[in-house]
Amino acid sequence: MSKPRSHTSERDAAIRIIGVLRDDGHTAYLAGGCVRDQLLGEIPKDYDVATSAHPEHIAELFKKTAAVGAAFGVMLVRDFGPTIEVATFRSDGPYTDARRPDHVHFSSPEEDAKRRDFTVNALFLDPHEDGDTIIDFVGGQADIEARILRAVGDPDARLKEDHLRALRAVRFAARYQLSMDPKTSNAIKAHASELRGVSIERIGHEIQRMMAHSSRAAAAKMIQDLTLDAVIFTDSCSSPGIPTLTALDDKADSITAMAAWAFDRFGEGILNRKGAAGTKWDLKLDMSNQGKEQFIATLDIAGLLISLWNEMNTAHRKRLASRPHACGGLTLAHAINPLAIATINSDIESMTNDGIGLAPEPLISGQTLIEMGNSPGESFKAVLDLVYDAQLEGTVDSRNSACTLASELFIKYNKTDQ
C-alpha cells in the first residue's frame, strides 16, 4: 500500500532544493500554485521551485533528476524524497499554436512572473527561518487579499496565447471564490469562440476537474455567463438555471455532477439511454469508456427512479437498486426530486434488510438447468430471469423450489413453442 502524500515533507524537500541552489550561487523561490494556496489558507497540492539555474546546472547539482521539459527549463528533482518540479525563470516567445510558446528565453524572476496567466499564480515565496517573504511583481498579493482573479498584463494577450486559459480562469475563480476582474471576464467573452480550437482532451480535463470539486455549480454558472458553454457543447440549453447541480450532494463524483448539469440544460427528456447518448456529452468532455457508461447509466437510473418506481414490483425495484452506478442515479434523482427519493430510500433500506437482500446469489444457474436435462436455447435466459425474480420476491427460497419453478416454466415454454 502506497503511503499518503505528506504536504509537509514536500515543502521541506522543496526548501532543501532551494538551499542547494542558493549555496551554488543561484536565486531560487517557491513559485506559483503553492504560494497562492498558502496565502488563501489552503493546503498546497504541489510545491514547485523557480530558479535562475539552467537545466544543465540543476542536473549537475542533484543526483536524481529527470528532464520533463528541458526546452522550457523544467526538471524534476527527487533527491529528498518527494518529486519536486524545478523550473528556470523564463520569458515566453509567441504562442502560434495557442497552447505553448514556440520558444523560451531564460530570464529573471520579474519576467517569469509577467509571462504567467493570472496574478494569483504569479507570486514567489522566499522561505527563511525567521519568516517567509512574498515576492510580487504583478499585484497578485493585493488581488488575493481582495479575492480577485485578474489576468497578468493585457487580458486579451493572455487569452490569445492559450485559449484554454478561459476555462482555467473559471476553475480558479470558482474554486477559490474569487470575483473575476471585469477586463479579464470581458476578454474571455470576446475570445470565447477561440475555445473551439482547443482539443477535447484539454477541455474535458478542465471540466472534469471543475465538476469534481464542491464549487462545481459556481463554475458551471460562470461558464454559462461567459458564453463558453455554447462553444464547449455546441448546443443550446433549454434553461440557464442550474438548480439540480446546485442541489447535488457535495460528495458526488464528477460524472454524476456532469449528469446533473446535463439535466439542468435539457430537462427530463435526457433521463433515458437514448436521450443521454444523444447529447454526445461523453464526446465533448472526453470521458473514458467507463465514464461514458456511468454518465448514461446515471441519467437512465435517475429517470426510472423518478418516473416508474411506484409502478415496479419488488423484483424490478431490487434489480434497479442493485445496478452498477445506482448510487449515482439515486444521488442525481435526489437532487431533482428530494421528496420522492426520500420514500425510495426508505423502500431500498427495507428491501436490503428483508432477509433476502437486493442482489443475492442466484439459487440456480444455466449449469443447473442443463443438469436438469434441458438443452441450452433461447428460453434459458428467460427462465433464469423469472426464477431469479421469484427469488427476489421471496416466493422461492431454496434450490429445490427454484428447480421446481424452472421445470414448470420450461413446460410452459415448450407448450408455447408447439
pLDDT tier, 278 (very low <50, low <70, confident <90, very high otherwise): very low
**pLDDT given at position 353:** 96
pLDDT above 90 coverage of the chain, percent: 72
Strands (E), 290-385: none
Closest CA to 36 of 157, 156, 176, 150: 176
Gap between the Cα atoms of 308 and 310, Å rounded:
6
Which run of H or of E encompasses 30? strand 28-31
pLDDT-derived band at 340, boundaries 50, 70, 90: confident
Asked if the domains 1-146 and 147-234 are classified in one and the same CATH topology, the answer is no
Weakest-pLDDT range from 120-124, 171-175, 273-277: 273-277
Cα-Cα-Cα-Cα torsion 12, 18, 20, 21, nearest 10 degrees, comes to: 170
Predicted local confidence at residue 4, as pLDDT = 42
Domain covering 1-146 in this structure, CATH number: 3.30.460.10
Average pLDDT over residues 116-142: 93
Q: Phi/psi at 398 (nearest 5 deg)? A: -150, 165
- Give me the sign of the Cα torsion angle 119, 121, 124, 127: positive
- When comparing pLDDT for 232 and 110, which is higher? 110
Tracing cell 416466493 back to the chain, one arrives at 395
Task: Assess whether pLDDT exceeds 70 at residue 264.
Answer: yes
State residue 404's pLDDT score.
95
Tell me the average pLDDT across 405-417.
81
pLDDT on residue 417: 56
Q: What is the mean pLDDT of residues 117-141?
A: 93
pLDDT at residue 302 in the model: 94
User: What pLDDT does 277 receive?
Assistant: 47
**pLDDT at position 237, please?**
67
Contact of 329 with 298, CB cutoff 8 Å: yes
- Residues 255 and 241: their CA atoms lie apart, in Å, by 19
Mean pLDDT is lowest, of 83-97, 206-220, 401-415, for 83-97
CATH topology of domain 147-234: Hydrophobic Seed Protein (1.10.110)
Task: Give the per-residue pLDDT at 321.
Answer: 97
Q: What angle do CA 84, 87, 90 make, to 5 degrees?
A: 165
What are the domain boundaries of the chain?
1-146, 147-234, 242-359, 366-417
CB 93 within 8 A of CB 105: yes
- Output the CA angle 170-176-178, nearest 5 degrees: 70
Average pLDDT over residues 354-364: 96
pLDDT at 97: 58
Cβ atoms < 10 Å from Cβ of 106:
16
Q: Dump pLDDT digits (tens) for 32-44.
A: 999 999 999 999 9
**Average pLDDT of span 72-82:** 93
The pLDDT of residue 197 is: 86
Per-residue cell: 61: 547539482
Mean of the per-residue pLDDT values of the chain: 89
Question: What number is the average pLDDT over the span 309-329?
Answer: 96
Q: Determine how many CB atoms are found less than 10 A away from the CB of residue 95.
A: 16
Question: Does 102 have pLDDT greater than 60?
Answer: yes
